[in-house]
Amino acid sequence: MGTTWFRAVDVTEAERARWDAEENGRLVQLLREERGWTRTRLARLAGTSHAELARFEMGMTVPAQPLLIRYLDAMGFHAR
């Protein structure tokens, strides 16, 4: 059989970074909402703005890792 039913997808670094940003944003939003926290509260505790947190939760912050750590730390999860 010369037909391959699966072919690897060529994914760029930028696409991977965007996927990571979207997943990290969803994670922070889920954890924040489970606590019943507003964006304003989490942003204040993390030393960022409401607008910056909103962009992060929508997956618009690339790279996302530095802010992810700040938000997790502010919620009591120590990622380091």
6 part of a folded domain: no
43 part of a folded domain: yes
pLDDT in tens, 23-76: 999 999 999 999 999 999 999 999 999 999 999 999 998 777 889 999 999 999
7 part of a folded domain: no
CATH code where residue 51 lies: 1.10.260.40
4 part of a folded domain: no
- Stated pTM of the model: 0.78
3 part of a folded domain: no
**Angular region, 61: left φ>0, alpha ψ -120 to 50, beta rest:** beta
66 part of a folded domain: yes
Count how many domains the chain has: 1
Q: Which domain holds residue 51?
A: 13-74
**For a pLDDT cut of 90, what percent of the chain falls above it?**
59
80 part of a folded domain: no
